Amino acid sequence: MAIVNVPDKNLMLENAGEITKYLASIGIDYERWENKQDVSPDASATEILAAYSEEIEKLKAKGGYVTADVIDIKSDTPNLDAMLDKFRPEHWHDEDEVRVIVKGCGIFHIAPVGGDVTAVKMMAGDMIRVPKGTRHWFDLDNTRTVRAIRLFQDVSGWTPIYTQSGLEKNY
Ligand SMILES: [Fe+2]
């Protein structure tokens, strides 16, 4: 279950309904994906994609996504910090960033224009859709492990465009 933290409002949310409502108010879709088929978080990418195919197909139809894959990041992934350094500065993309956490943890910070920076700590079973153009940044927690389903409208469109604001340094 995700945890939402809005430091400038001194607000912390740990209830799925409240999280969904708050994130919707800043343009972010959040869902809980149930592990109905009891697939292991360490199953092959093919098995993971098959187990969640119903939800994936629904989301594809809704958002125009054409492909899905599974990304695996572990603490011993080569060049992990160099990889994370691409996502740690505030940026946006020309396409939606859609992630479903299967294992581990990923922390998104959303920086709505004119709104409060919102940290979303994503755990297994959490789906987030960060619409294209939304300012955000991403990091891991200290376990430095995440396995996630990703959906793409166009794989080549998923390049970070940096704002150079330096905002991430304050959070
Ligand atoms: Fe991103």
pLDDT, tens digit, for every residue of 63-120? 999 999 999 999 999 999 999 999 999 999 999 999 999 999 999 999 999 999 999 9
Q: Determine the distance separating the centroid of ligand 1 and the alpha carbon of 91, expressed in angstroms.
A: 6
Q: Quote the distance between the C-alpha of residue 145 and its chain's center.
A: 14
Distance between CA atoms of 104 and 73, rounded to whole angstroms? 9
Residue 70 contacts residue 101 (beta carbons within 8 Å): no
Q: Determine the distance separating the centroid of ligand 1 and the alpha carbon of 8, expressed in angstroms.
A: 22
Closest C-alpha to 1, from 11, 15, 18: 15
**29-44 pLDDT per residue, tens:** 999 998 888 999 999 9
Distance between CA atoms of 112 and 136, rounded to whole angstroms? 8
Contacts of 123 (CB under 8 A, 6+ apart): 1, 2, 3, 101, 105
Residue 46 has pLDDT above 80, yes or no: yes
Which residue bears the tokens 């409502």? Answer: 21
Tell me how crowded residue 48 is: count the other CB atoms within 10 A of its CB: 25
Tokens representing 6 are 């809005």
Q: What is the pLDDT of residue 157?
A: 65
Residue 127 has pLDDT above 80, yes or no: yes
Tokens representing 69 are 């894959």
Tokens representing 4 are 């939402």
Tokens representing 29 are 């879709």
Q: What is the pLDDT of residue 8?
A: 96
Distance between CA atoms of 33 and 43, rounded to whole angstroms? 17
* pTM to 2 decimal places: 0.95
Q: Determine the distance separating the centroid of ligand 1 and the alpha carbon of 139, expressed in angstroms.
A: 10
